[in-house]
A and B are shown apart, each in its own frame.
Chain A
Amino acid sequence: MTASTDVILLRGGRVIDPVNGVDGVCDLLLADGRIKAVAPSGTIADLPAETKVYELAGKLVCPGFIDMHVHLREPGEEYKETIETGSRAAAAGGFTAVACMPNTKPVNDNLAVTSLILAKAALAGLARVYPVGAISKTSQGESLAEFGEMRQAGVVAVTDDGLPVNNSQLMRRALEYAGSHGLLVISHAEEMALSRNGVMNDGALATRLGLRGIPGAAEEIMVYRDLALAGYTKRPIHIAHVSTRESVSLIRRAKEKGIRVTAETAPHYFTLTEEAVDNYNTRAKMNPPLRTADDVAAICAGLHDGTLDAIATDHAPHSELEKEVEFDLAANGIIGLETAVPLALALVRQGKIDIGRLVELMSVNPAHILGVVGGSLAEGGVADVTVIDPEKKFVFKEEDIHSKSKNSPFLGSQLQGKAVLTIMGGRVTYGDGI
């Protein structure tokens, strides 16, 4: 990343830095890619002449948001997204870092693909991109990918995301072997025998639409299996995209028992229900599928009480080609980077979580889980900062999207709260009218 960074003063915003117990109006001085000073507003003196000053009264100044679950599609499906366009979408959504899943073409199951991703990310220079490697070679679920070499090349975790690891012995060995290389294992929890050919949540709506359902049990069975394996191997496991009430309660109980589990959910799982797919709306088709209002309530409770550790978007770009088809044939997934902040802020406005908890979920915890920089605004730390205007209202429009793909069920929705300034390594990667 570029060495020459400006001196930046973020003045008068409400600084929310849970790790350091800060929640109040402060000034933040950034220089040389680091946080130089955090001090009561107006007290930082002797600013260099070239200091760029941002007046942030009424804005929220947070440690840079980290999205630990995105699909950047490069290499292989650059017509949907590239590392550059995905990084730009991340910056525009208020993210300073993303962890990209390995289901590219070819799969990121070796150091060559890992190195390519990192090289492209450095070239774009808009976000820290942390590649996640595959658990199994080509994610076929048969033999372990080369964790050691991928770790050396720069992966931060392993997963076969997009697919579950069906073979329990392989999952056990992955947990054990990942421990030898200091890698986190991320579980895409899905029992394929139950979910196969399913395209939405199982239930009355699926029956009415004549669509094959995916029962919540398809997720919960695998969540339980992976919790059992994590307990048995005494290794940490991270559960991706939790969508059901029972998954939340399984994770809650596992945490009580001391199993080393962390978990994420996505904004769509606490915002939308299966009703969004009515009228065969392929823009709301995803895996795991949108569930019921009861599941949404449990997800919100899990975000509040610490059962769920992170909000990650599962940003999954697809072109119109994959979505303008029969519902059965449409691709799973939605873009999420540019709607996560307003959707999460809605939880704060609804009183379901407070703003400090939001920063934990979107910055502090992802940094800790992945073992990467950020998550804090301590002096001396990396100058990764997300500035949010919590009042800003906007209609989410196709022409405003930075991602290459536009597949979002929130198109046309009135949203409130937006990242207005994103700073990564002391450099402004996104600024909106500020």
Chain B
Amino acid sequence: MPGEYHFTHKHVLGLADFSVADINLVLQTAESFKEISTRSIKKVPTLRGKTVINLFFEPSTRTRLSFEVAAKRMSADTFNISSSSSSTTKGETLIDTARNLTAMKPDCIIIRHSRSGSARLLADNIDASVINAGDGTHEHPSQGLLDLMTVKEAKGKIAGLKIAIIGDIAHSRVAHSNIIGFSKMGAQVVVGGPATLIPPGIEEMGATVSRNVIDAVDGADVVMALRIQQERQQDPLFPSLREYAGFYGVSPKVVDAAAPDAIIMHPGPINRGVELDPRVADGSRSVILEQVTNGVAVRMALIYLIMGGN
């Protein structure tokens, strides 16, 4: 049938590559997989005999675990290669690693790496499907999708919502995937934070910029706080965590400026009392744990879809 939609991606490198139809399909698929997690036997044979490798060059227990659980629930064989045991520290390049992995005939490689573009570099040099689990400050598409899923569940829709993303936009791949994903799906994305953490041209990605946090969250349906990475402090981005928390932290007062039924999100792990006040993180509007649950469902959907299920 002409014009019929097909999911044709071999890799998941970034939401910039995804169409609205692609995103809708992932979210629908994830919803159906989410049910599996509620069963007493949380496993289906969908990917029996398939090999999924978690190739993590940056420590991240939660994302790795989420992908591993997702693959295992579909009966794939999973292997973890972490930075401490991977060879790149011994001078082997990412391309060498890719070629060595190819020899093991994996079906899917999940990569987390500190350098932007590394997922694409791997995809260009390997036969397997590649899922980007975070590359430098570029994208973290599965996080963007699980955030879309969480918002859609809580609000029943995405189009027309106002999404406020607060904090370190410049160094956050989560922010990038969310700005791209939410704006593609018809939401209005406003980013807020100190000028040092708002990168040039972020408007071209689909966000509007508000320097003032209260203005950014004004009437917002979703308030998302981003993690401040304290290791970046060799670049003088702001004077102190104390001042940051005072001016840019998501506090109950900030939340009061949002819509009465606004939900609070954070990609984790949280610096409590810095970018997110504990009263907000643990409050009734917080959907942070729901994000974690949806993370598994979205990752199941991604692995399933790129391995040909449709």
Query: Could you list which residues of chain A lie within 8 angstroms of chain B, going by C-beta atoms?
Result: 202-211, 213, 279-280, 321, 324-329
Partner of B139, one of A210, A213, A326: A210
A206 and B176 within 8 A (CB)? no
Given contacts A326-B121, A328-B115, contact A210 B200 (CB under 8 A): no
Contact with A along B79-114 (1 / 0, CB 8 A): 000000000000001110000000000000000010
Hey, which chain A residues are within 8 Å of B176, CB to CB?
Answer: 207-208, 210
Return 28 A-B CB contacts under 8 Å, by A number.
A202-B200, A203-B200, A204-B203, A204-B205, A206-B200, A207-B176, A207-B199, A207-B202, A208-B204, A208-B205, A210-B117, A210-B138, A210-B139, A210-B176, A211-B116, A211-B136, A211-B137, A280-B120, A280-B121, A324-B95, A325-B94, A325-B95, A325-B121, A326-B94, A326-B115, A326-B117, A326-B118, A327-B116
A324 to B118, CA, bound (A): 11
A209 and B138 within 8 A (CB)? yes
Hey, which chain A residues are within 8 Å of B118, CB to CB?
Answer: 326
A204 and B116 within 8 A (CB)? no
Nearest CB of chain A from residue B226's CB, rounded to whole Å: 14
A279 to B13, CA, bound (A): 11
B266 on interface, CB distance cutoff 8 Å:
no
Q: Which 4 A-B pairs have the closest CB atoms?
A: A204-B201, A210-B138, A280-B117, A210-B116
A236 to B116, CA, bound (A): 42
Nearest CB of chain B from residue A292's CB, rounded to whole Å: 11
Most chain A Cβ neighbours within 10 Å, of B116, B118, B136: B116
B135 on interface, CB distance cutoff 8 Å:
yes
Number of interface residues of B (CB under 8 A): 26
B16 on interface, CB distance cutoff 8 Å:
yes
Hey, which chain B residues are within 8 Å of A205, CB to CB?
Answer: 201
Total A-B pairs in contact (CB under 8 Å)? 71
A203 to B116, CA, bound (A): 16
A46 to B200, CA, bound (A): 69
A279 and B120 within 8 A (CB)? yes
Given contacts A208-B16, A210-B176, contact A325 B93 (CB under 8 A): yes
Hey, which chain B residues are within 8 Å of A206, CB to CB?
Answer: 199-201
Looking across the interface, which residue of chain B has its beta carbon closest to that of A207?
A: B199
B73 on interface, CB distance cutoff 8 Å:
no
B162 on interface, CB distance cutoff 8 Å:
no
Nearest CB of chain B from residue A318's CB, rounded to whole Å: 14
Hey, which chain B residues are within 8 Å of A321, CB to CB?
Answer: 93
Hey, which chain A residues are within 8 Å of B299, CB to CB?
Answer: none
Given contacts A210-B137, A210-B176, A327-B115, contact A203 B201 (CB under 8 A): yes
A213 to B139, CA, bound (A): 17
B173 on interface, CB distance cutoff 8 Å:
yes
Give the dominant DSSP class at A's interface. helix
A321 to B92, CA, bound (A): 11
Most chain A Cβ neighbours within 10 Å, of B113, B137, B139: B137
B117 and A327 within 8 A (CB)? yes
Given contacts A208-B16, A210-B138, contact A328 B116 (CB under 8 A): yes
Looking across the interface, which residue of chain B has its beta carbon closest to that of A211?
A: B116
A203 to B94, CA, bound (A): 27
Partner of B201, one of A208, A211, A328, A329: A208
A213 to B120, CA, bound (A): 20
Hey, which chain A residues are within 8 Å of B203, CB to CB?
Answer: 204
A329 to B139, CA, bound (A): 18
A179 to B200, CA, bound (A): 43
A207 and B205 within 8 A (CB)? yes
Hey, which chain B residues are within 8 Å of A327, CB to CB?
Answer: 115-117
Hey, which chain A residues are within 8 Å of B116, CB to CB?
Answer: 209-211, 280, 326-328
A210 to B169, CA, bound (A): 11
Nearest CB of chain B from residue A214's CB, rounded to whole Å: 12
A209 to B120, CA, bound (A): 11
B95 and A213 within 8 A (CB)? no
B136 and A213 within 8 A (CB)? no
A324 to B200, CA, bound (A): 28
Beyond the given pairs A209-B116, A209-B138, 10 more chain A to chain B contacts, judged by CB atoms under 8 angstroms and listed by A's residue number, are A207-B205, A208-B205, A210-B137, A210-B139, A325-B94, A326-B94, A326-B117, A326-B121, A327-B115, A327-B116
A204 and B117 within 8 A (CB)? no
A324 and B136 within 8 A (CB)? no
A329 to B115, CA, bound (A): 9
Hey, which chain A residues are within 8 Å of B137, CB to CB?
Answer: 210-211
Hey, which chain A residues are within 8 Å of B201, CB to CB?
Answer: 203-208
Looking across the interface, which residue of chain B has its beta carbon closest to that of A215?
A: B200
Given contacts A202-B200, A327-B115, contact A210 B173 (CB under 8 A): yes
Nearest CB of chain B from residue A10's CB, rounded to whole Å: 48
